Amino acid sequence: MLNLNDFIENSIKNIKNEIGNDKAIIALSGGIDSSVCSVLVKNAIGENLTAIFVDHGFLREGEADEVINLFKNRLNFKYIDASEEFLKGLKGVIDPEKKRKIIGKIFIDVFEREAEKIHSKFLVQGTIAPDWIESEGKIKSHHNLSLPGGMVLKVVEPIRELYKDEVRNIGRELSLPDNLVNRQPFPGPGLAVRIIGEITKEKLDIISKADYIVSEEVEKIGLNEDLWQYFAVLTDSKVTGVKGDQRDFGYLVVIRMVTSLDAMTAEVPDLPWNLIKAISKKITSEISEVTHVSLSISDKPPSTIEFA
């Protein structure tokens, strides 16, 4: 078993050796991997690490503030609100793979723009073991990364030998808060992969409210501890409903909850019916644009966990 203190001590020593008195940057998302890396590297090189938090506008309700409040006094921290740029770049785009590519490209552009201001030699990345094992070792441990704008950075990966549960334990040891350490996996492109069809401000508002309701109700009864992920998806289907004595025409939202060990496969577990009904009622009563809620009952395979 991994000795946490030994790992932290050795890691700080190695990072000091590798980076020395140079500057380093990291893209901090507020997820466990990049947060643990940021704190480890900060402990090794102090203010020479700049953590750049690019807000693409697809975060969960309150998430940007949580990340800002947690790190603004703890790290040399830079918050970049790029939400308008992302929305503009995604205007009219429907194909899910195209959306991911555009999000990835804008993310790198924004990050590189900020990184250029810092004259850093090193880029810290929160790669963990499954990331490179799944890509069949294609990512080498010591490599340079060339960014599209021409910047070349040496990559430092302090947790590349660790698995998720080990990273969580290191996070606890580094006094990161429980809600960050235990939080469910959240995809890099965020809520954008939970909107089918074009991404608009209106749809983002709907999905973040629905997502908040799902999380709140699941966590209220402690079911989150048994689930891998639990969230809402906004489909691009509009369906008829009824409000008072008027017919209505609004969105169909899907609730998705799965158990999994590693996200390679996933199962829909038996779920408490009261919970599902409470979520459905809350979504339709609090989000006027939604007329219908359904529950996803498909395992992976054949479905994927996310809808897009």
Amino acid at position 170, single letter: I
Distance separating alpha carbons of residues 103 and 187, to the nearest angstrom: 12
- Burial class (CB within 10 angstroms; exposed 0-12, middle 13-18, buried 19+) of 227: middle
Q: How far are the Cα atoms of 2, 170, 171, 301 from residue 5, in angstroms, in the given order?
A: 9, 8, 11, 39
Per-residue HEC secondary structure of 140-159 comes to CCCCEEECCCCCEEEEECCC
Instruction: Point out which residues pair with 247 in neighbouring strands.
Output: 242
Beta strand 152-156 with 144-146 is antiparallel
Distance separating alpha carbons of residues 183 and 177, to the nearest angstrom: 10
**306 lies in the site for ligand XMP, by CB under 6 A:** yes
Q: CB under 6 A: which stretch of 83-91, 183-191, 203-211, 219-227 binds ligand XMP? A: 183-191
Q: In terms of CB distance, is 45 or 253 closer to ligand XMP?
A: 253
**188 lies in the site for ligand XMP, by CB under 6 A:** yes
Q: In terms of CB distance, is 56 or 282 closer to ligand XMP?
A: 56
**304 lies in the site for ligand XMP, by CB under 6 A:** yes
Query: What b/e sequence results for 153-176 when a residue is b if at least 16 CB atoms lie within 10 Å of its CB, and e otherwise?
Result: bbbbbbbbebebebbbbbbeebeb
Size of the site for ligand XMP (CB under 6 A): 12
Distance separating alpha carbons of residues 74 and 65, to the nearest angstrom: 14
The single residue among 16, 23, 100, 172 that binds ligand XMP, judged by CB under 6 A, is 100
Q: How far is the CB of 225 from ligand XMP (least distance, A)?
A: 17
Instruction: Point out which residues pair with 78 in neighbouring strands.
Output: 52
Rounded to 5°, angle at Cα 97 from 151 and 65: 65
Q: CB under 6 A: which stretch of 11-19, 42-50, 195-203, 300-308 binds ligand XMP? A: 300-308
Distance separating alpha carbons of residues 216 and 207, to the nearest angstrom: 14
Q: CB under 6 A: which stretch of 185-193, 218-226, 245-253, 273-281 binds ligand XMP? A: 185-193
Q: How far is the CB of 185 from ligand XMP (least distance, A)?
A: 4
Instruction: Point out which residues pair with 156 in neighbouring strands.
Output: 124
Per-residue contact flags (x/-) with ligand XMP for residues 27 to 56, judged by CB under 6 A: ------------------------------
Q: In terms of CB distance, is 214 or 305 closer to ligand XMP?
A: 305
**187 lies in the site for ligand XMP, by CB under 6 A:** yes
**305 lies in the site for ligand XMP, by CB under 6 A:** yes
**263 lies in the site for ligand XMP, by CB under 6 A:** yes
**189 lies in the site for ligand XMP, by CB under 6 A:** yes
The single residue among 177, 185, 269, 272 that binds ligand XMP, judged by CB under 6 A, is 185
Q: How far is the CB of 75 from ligand XMP (least distance, A)?
A: 22
Binding site for ligand XMP (CB under 6 A): 100, 185, 187-189, 193, 229, 263, 300, 304-306
